[in-house]
C-alpha cells in the first residue's frame, strides 16, 4: 500500500510539474538572499535539495492551487520570472537587515583604527571589517538558536496566502521600489545607532586630543592618540556592546521580519 501511495504522489507531482517548478523558483530565489543558507559554505546542491524538499512540502500541503497563465512558452517563462522576483524581494529584506551590521562594523573600525585589518568572510567571500564580522556571526548564531530562522520560513509560507501564484505585482510597482529605498534608509540609520557608542566616544577623544595638541605642541598626537583610541574602543566594545548583543539581534530580526511582511504586502495587487 505504501508503494501505491508513493506512486500516486509521483504521478501527482509529474502531472503538475509546471506548478511545482513555480514553487521551486520562488523558494530558490528566497534562499539566494536568506542569511546562512545563502552562504558560500552551503553547497549549491544542498541549497537546491532543500528548496526542492520545501517545494514538495508546500505543493502537498494544498496552499498553492492551480495557476492559470497564457498557455504558451513565453507566458510560462514570464510567470517564472515573476515568481523569481517575488522570492528575491522577500529575501532582500532579510539580506539588507542583517548586512547592516557590516556597515556598523566599518563605522566602528574606522574610529578605532582597524580599517587596515579587514578579513575575508568565508560566508560571503568578501572583505569585511573585523568588528562587523564578529557581530555578524554572533547575530547569525542567535538567529539559529532562537528559532528566528523558522519564523522567517513561516513568513515566507504566509506569502503564498497573500500572493498566490501569478498574482504578485512586481514589474512597474513604484510602491515596492519606494519601500526598498526606505528600507535602505532604515538600515543605515540603525547601523549608525549600533555604532554610536564607539563613534560618540571617539569623537570626544578626538576633541580632547585636539585641545591637548594646542596646549602642548611638543606632544606627538599620533603616538599618543592611536593606542589610546584602540584601547578605549576595544574596552567599550567588550564592556558595553557585546553584553547587549541580544538586544541588537532582536532589533535586527524585527527589522528583517517587518521588511518581509512589508515586501509581501507591497506586491499585493489590490
How far apart CA 51 and CA 66 sit, in angstroms, is: 20
What are φ and ψ of residue 36, in 5° steps? Answer: 75, -60
Q: Give the ranges where 127-173 is alpha helix by DSSP (H).
A: 130-145, 148-162
What is the separation, in whole angstroms, between the first and last Cα of the chain?
46
Length of the chain, please? Answer: 270
| pLDDT band (50, 70, 90) for residue 1 | very low
For the entire predicted model, the pTM comes to 0.83
**Tell me, what's the pLDDT at 6?**
56
Is-contact 29 89, C-beta < 8 A?
A: no
Average pLDDT, the chain: 81
pLDDT of res. 84: 92
Rounded mean pLDDT of 56-64? 80
| Model pLDDT, residue 119 | 62
Instruction: Answer whether 123's CB lies under 8 Å from 40's CB.
Output: yes
Neighbouring CB atoms inside 10 A of 63's CB total 14
Among 151, 123, 105, smallest CA distance to 253 is for 151
pLDDT at 30: 92
pLDDT at 270 > cutoff 50 = yes
Q: Is 120 strand, coil or helix?
A: strand
Amino acid at each position: 500500500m505504501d508503494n501505491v501511495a508513493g506512486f500516486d504522489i509521483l504521478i501527482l507531482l509529474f502531472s503538475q510539474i509546471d506548478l511545482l517548478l513555480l514553487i521551486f523558483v520562488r523558494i530558490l530565489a528566497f534562499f539566494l538572499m536568506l542569511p546562512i543558507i545563502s552562504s558560500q559554505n552551503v553547497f549549491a546542491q544542498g541549497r537546491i535539495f532543500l528548496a526542492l524538499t520545501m517545494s514538495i512540502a508546500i505543493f502537498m500541503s494544498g496552499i498553492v492551487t492551480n495557476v492559470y497563465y497564457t498557455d504558451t512558452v513565453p507566458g510560462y517563462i514570464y510567470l517564472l520570472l515573476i515568481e523569481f522576483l517575488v522570492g528575491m524581494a522577500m529575501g532582500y529584506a532579510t539580506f539588507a537587515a542583517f548586512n547592516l551590521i557590516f556597515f556598523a562594523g566599518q563605522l566602528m573600525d574606522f574610529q578605532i583604527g582597524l580599517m587596515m585589518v579587514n578579513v575575508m568572510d568565508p560566508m560571503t567571500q568578501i572583505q569585511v571589517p573585523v568588528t562587523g564580522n564578529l557581530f555578524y556571526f554572533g547575530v547569525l548564531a542567535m538567529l539559529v538558536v532562537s528559532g528566528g530562522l523558522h519564523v522567517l520560513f513561516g513568513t515566507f509560507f504566509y506569502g503564498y496566502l497573500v500572493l498566490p501564484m501569478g498574482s504578485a505585482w512586481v514589474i512597474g510597482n513604484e510602491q515596492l521600489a519606494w519601500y526598498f529605498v526606505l528600507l535602505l534608509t532604515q538600515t543605515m540609520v540603525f547601523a549608525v545607532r549600533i555604532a554610536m557608542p564607539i563613534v560618540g566616544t571617539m569623537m570626544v577623544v578626538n576633541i580632547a586630543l585636539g585641545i591637548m595638541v594646542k596646549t602642548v605642541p611638543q606632544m606627538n598626537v599620533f603616538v599618543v592618540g592611536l593606542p589610546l583610541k584602540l584601547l578605549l574602543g576595544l574596552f567599550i566594545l567588550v564592556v558595553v556592546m557585546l553584553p547587549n548583543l541580544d538586544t541588537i539581534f532582536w532589533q535586527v530580526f524585527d527589522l528583517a521580519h517587518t521588511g518581509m511582511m512589508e515586501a509581501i504586502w507591497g506586491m499585493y495587487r489590490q
